[in-house]
Amino acid sequence: MEWAFLLIVCLLGCLPLAAKPIEELQDGRYIFASQAPKTDRHPDIQLAGAEVYAFEKTGRNVLGEVFIANSSEASCFTGSVSQNLLKGRVIIHNQTLPFQTDLSNFYPIPVTLLPYARSSVDRCRPVVGGLR
């Protein structure tokens, strides 16, 4: 009986994504990371090294930033979402390139956990202004 409880706790804590696809989430700002936060670390480095997508969803449209947590590399993107697939254009080193990313195995992160990511949309809106 104890092993069943532990299995349920692990499954609840280890499942990467809520059952609802990103496409079905309410309009708003979201953060998804390639790894779950390591809560035994200082809040500033709980996601160190994770690939992070911070974006605003309006209908099926998305606008945001992709970056590696605790690095200086970040790129703005705009596009659309279908289920958990983001598809659109990303600006990398002043070049606009197509991109497609499946966030099915990414973890939803509370917006309050990453102060930097809370302003990602605001930083990227003027950068991708003409791309929509």
pLDDT in tens, 82-130: 999 999 999 988 899 999 999 999 999 988 877 777 788 999 999 888 6
- Give the model confidence (pLDDT) of 29-73 as tens digits: 999 999 999 888 877 788 889 999 999 999 999 999 999 988 888
Is residue 57 a part of any domain in this protein? yes
Is residue 16 a part of any domain in this protein? no
Dihedral sign computed on CA atoms, order 46, 48, 53, 55: positive
Q: Which domain holds residue 65?
A: 25-124
Is residue 13 a part of any domain in this protein? no
Is residue 132 a part of any domain in this protein? no
Evaluate if residue 21 carries a pLDDT over 60.
yes
Q: With a threshold of 0.85, does the pTM exceed it?
A: no
Is residue 6 a part of any domain in this protein? no
Is residue 7 a part of any domain in this protein? no
108: left (phi over 0), alpha (psi -120 to 50) or beta: beta
| Total domains in the fold of the chain | 1
Is residue 58 a part of any domain in this protein? yes
Is residue 15 a part of any domain in this protein? no
Across the chain, the runs of DSSP E, i.e. the strands, are: 28-33, 51-58, 61-68, 74-82, 85-92, 95-102, 107-109
- For 22, the token pair is 């990103």
